[in-house]
A and B are shown apart, each in its own frame.
Chain A
Amino acid sequence: MTIHVDIDRDLCIGSGTCVRLAPGVFALDEEEISVVVDPDAADISKLRLAAEACPTEAIRIGAPPGDARG
């Protein structure tokens, strides 16, 4: 099951918190904005942690398509 993880590029300031908290999932691109590299690289609890700890609330975690939760 692939979790849908989305980063709002207009919110991200490149703090790198997500890269640290969910290793393998996120990376900073050449603009130092976070991108999702592999949403399955860490378990959902780490993804949620990254989303909560993000200083700009730029990360959204959604269930797979077909689920209304976001």
Chain B
Amino acid sequence: MTTETLVSEHPSQGRAFYRTQVFRRQLILAGLMVALFFSLCVDLALGPARFSLGEVIAALFTPDNVSQQARVILWDIRMPVALMALVVGASLSVAGAQMQTILSNPLASPFTLGISAGASFGAALGLAFGVAIIPGAIEYVVPLNAFLMAMVTAFLIHALSLRRGVTVETIVLLGIAMVFIFNSLMALIQFFASQQAVAAVVFWTMGSLTKATWPKFWIALGILATVMPLLARHGWALTAMRLGDAKAESMGVKPRALRLEVLVLVSLLAAVAVAFVGTIGFIGLVGPHIARILLGEDQRFFLPGSALCGALILSAGSVISKSIIPGTIIPIGIITSLVGIPFFLFLVLNHKKASW
């Protein structure tokens, strides 16, 4: 804070400081984008089939001129996984960022509010007993169940939060109650399910990008592309929310209405991500914190920053998950935490200012 008070004594100096700040943040965003592009390229280039860089590029840009093997591997196996990592990472991270913002709680994430737990429960119902909440759509039983349960959880929290006297803290508590309820229900399912089904449920809860397909990618991308502008529209209001409800209200923000709208939007993001790739816990919590440390609270930078950080962590995780034992893929949920935590600790411990 000291630097800022010092420079703000001179208006022109203050303007210059602001411009440097903005420029610095734009640079960081650009840097993240470059890193993300690099990670995507590595993800596409690496795999058990040892294609040379030339072959990869040829398969990418002139798919008709390469062997069927190279075309299938790049376009049907590597590409959906690599791109899904970006979209899911961004979705989860943005969901976590806005939950932290609207709930004024650094521990908020799709997991804290039970949205992921609800999704896991829905998926487990499908995996263990073949129960379809919407009958008929056999192929999409698991993701549909997961999605529906996640939305049910979000709306339950929404409905409860509409009651009189419900504060932000109560919403977080409700979320944690949801997590425990769904965890118990999950345990109950596993208790009754067959061994084969339990293995499937466990595998699903570890999260895996290998479930990615082109249609799923387009759906996830479509949702992300729809939700991001809607959130960005509220950028200034959300920034103001971080000052507390009273101050935000004095600036003309309607905290309750905003909170509900954002809650629904981020639930949608989280539900789609969890439905398609299983539970990947860590990104929704840590992605936004990394973005906040690097870029601050200003939503103009924080929102895209969170998306980029989340995408980057998951993309790097995807590369590592297939490199540890070449030929197998270690579930990404295990990897992301192992990769992201050291980086996160480094940032937290080296950051002079308190970021929350």
**A, B bound:** no
